Amino acid sequence: MSFRTHLESVVNQVDGALACSVMGFDGISVETHQKEEAGELELNGAWVEYANLLSQLKQAAETLKTGEVHEVSINSENVLTLMRLISPEYFLVLALRADGNYGKGRYVLRVIAPRIRAEL
């Protein structure tokens, strides 16, 4: 199964999902699936910035000895963003409308992450 198939599955399963991507910590997207309604948003630019933020959070957790970071969410006025680490180099990112199903998004990312990790 390709990354795109997994990403389409995530977007189709979660109410309010706009886009999902496999990203590297360098800010480069490996693969993305995006709904048309997300076209007006600058998600790729946001995700590049979030990749940097996630790297800093990983370092902070290591420094503070709090354990590995598994998931981070950024909840802004219009978009809920969920990020789930899938390997030391890659993470999944899911954008939802503000009224999207946050809990289901977290669940689906947690379930799909091992499948994508196996294909890396």
Contact in structure between 119 and 3 (CB atoms under 8 Å)? yes
Q: Would the pLDDT of 111 be above 70?
A: yes
Structure tokens at 119: 């294909």
CA–CA distance from 109 to each of 37, 50, 65 (Å)? 21, 17, 25
For the record, the structure tokens of 85 come out as: 């680490």
Give the tens place of pLDDT for each residue, 16-36. 999 999 999 888 889 989 888
Q: Is 5 exposed, middle or buried (0-12, 13-18, 19+ CB in 10 A)?
A: exposed
pTM: 0.90
pLDDT in tens, 40-91: 777 888 888 888 989 999 999 999 999 999 999 999 998 999 999 999 999 9
Question: CB atoms < 10 A from the CB of 110, how many?
Answer: 14
